[in-house]
Amino acid sequence: MAKGYWVSVYPTITDPEGLDVYNALAGLAVKAAGGRVLASIGSRVVAHEAGIAERVVLIEFDSFEQAVAAYESAAYQKALAELPDGFERDFRIIESLD
């Protein structure tokens, strides 16, 4: 079965402390849904071309369906509600090739 991944790129973070509540709730939601954080805060990034060297988060799930369900879960929706106003990120759920 193909794995599922959450990939998030944060173009700019002007107030990292403003993400504290979101980060705590999102971490609990991801763990409860069986997600595993592979890269996050403090991970090194080398950006090329139009890449963004700001925070990149990579989370693995056992299946694409599990990744989608985790995003749609009540626990993660509660976390999303805590993102600061005007906050921007590029978030995708992708399926692995195998």
In DSSP notation, 29-74 reads HHHHTT-EEEE-TT------TT---S-EEEEEESSHHHHHHHHHSH
> Rounded to two decimals, what is the model's pTM?
0.89
The reported pLDDT for the residue numbered 81 is 94
Structural domain spans, the chain = 4-95
The reported pLDDT for the residue numbered 3 is 97
Binned at pLDDT 50, 70 and 90, residue 92 comes out as: very high
| CATH code assigned to 4-95 | 3.30.70.100
Binned at pLDDT 50, 70 and 90, residue 10 comes out as: confident
Query: What average pLDDT score do residues 6-15 get?
Result: 86
Query: What average pLDDT score do residues 26-54 get?
Result: 89
